[in-house]
Amino acid sequence: MNLADRVHTLGQALLHRYGERVHKVAINAGLTCPNRDGNKGRGGCTFCNNASFNPTARHPPSVSEQIAAGRAVIRRRTRAQLYLAYFQAYTNTYAELETLRSLYDEALAEPDVVGLSVGTRPDCVDSGVIKLLAEYQAQGKEIWLELGLQSAFDGTLARVNRGHGFAEYRTALLAARAAGLSVCTHLILGLPGETPWHYRVTLERVLELGVDGLKLHPLHVVRGTLLANEWRRGEYQPLTLAEYLTAVADLVELTPPEIIFHRLTGTAESELLLAPTWCSKKWAVLNGITAELVRRGTRQGDRVAASPNVLESAYLLARVGDNSLSVDSVATATGVSPGQSQA
């Protein structure tokens, strides 16, 4: 079983484009987040591990040193010779423009780095950032802007103290795509209060606006978070592996085949992960997703436009532009309840 036979993956897309493997090298640029430094809030998202913001983590090695270390590991593992510099930790557009230019330039100065993948929040993408990334793209660099949306429901985003809503995502997404940038949107499955119905509506809202890539990952409960306290009190129950495999397979089937999946699961460091424990087994999860698609006899895009009620609800929300609409009001308008199956 091969996941790439069923899903349009980033690895295969880059292999086709460059004629050889291209791997991401994760970079910590030592930046922070407006939801932690008081600009938008304090404490960060309820699922964000505070330990990752300790003083040592805020003073990482240089970008070139991190690329050298990552290169060494990747070459031993896969022998890949080309890389994307993945600015992953914190909010990687949350700094003065010249600071960002210096960081990005340092990464692109490496002769085997073909481009950048920049992870950030939708509320931290201004016109200067978009122009800078577009400049690199015009130079022939592979550029991905990764927007952490997580959910299209403002109620959910408020519940996890995200510090932004869907409106900020819409603004950033449309501006980036107008500049010709490729955008990958991050979505979390298993957020408090959400069901598979929410995941499908979120996907449809994202697809309706247009997107080039997607990342899906389960919500982790990690030490040092408010979510961990909720989990210990029995106020939050993580997804089971079976629930996650079913949800991901559903979303893959509902995603047009040209969209690139950058990720279908995610892991956390073992010393931090509390639940669900299956999140620590990346390849078991990926193999499970593949097996579920094989069992169904389906692949990416097989159910595009095959779920009209979910599509109606997504269009309704996007069309009226009122992100305060409740799940109940959408259900009333579309005749679909949050717990109703869309299979």
Q: What's the CA angle centered on 66, arms 63 and 261, to 5 degrees?
A: 95
145-194 residue pLDDT tens: 999 999 999 999 999 989 999 999 999 999 999 999 999 999 999 999 99
How far lies 191's CA from each of 19, 127, 156, 217, in Å? Answer: 38, 31, 7, 11
For residue 315, being part of any structural domain is answered with no
Any domain includes 343: no
Query: Does residue 324 sit within a domain?
Result: no
- H-type helices in 109-238, by residue range? 127-138, 154-159, 166-178, 196-209, 226-232
Residues 169, 191: Cα–Cα separation, whole Å: 18
Domain for residue 209, yes or no? yes
In a domain, 215, yes or no: yes
In a domain, residue 316? The reply is: no
CATH number for the domain that contains residue 132: 3.20.20.70
Residue 328 lies in a domain: no
Q: What is the pTM of this model?
A: 0.88
Query: What pLDDT, in 10s, does the model give residues 83-126?
Result: 999 999 889 999 999 999 999 999 999 999 999 999 999 999 99
CB count in 10 Å sphere of residue 309: 17
Note down the domain range covering 301. Answer: 3-308
Report d(CA 315, CA 251) in Å as an integer. Answer: 17
For residue 160, CA distances in Å to 40, 106, 122, 141, 171 come to: 14, 34, 16, 35, 21
Asked if residue 313 belongs to a domain, the reply is: no
Rounded to the nearest integer, the mean pLDDT of the chain is 88
Q: How many domains does the chain have?
A: 1
Per-residue model confidence (pLDDT) at position 55: 42
| The two three-digit tokens of residue 188, written as one number | 């979390």
Longest dimension (CA), the chain: 56
| Neighbour count for residue 237 (Cβ, 10 Å) | 13
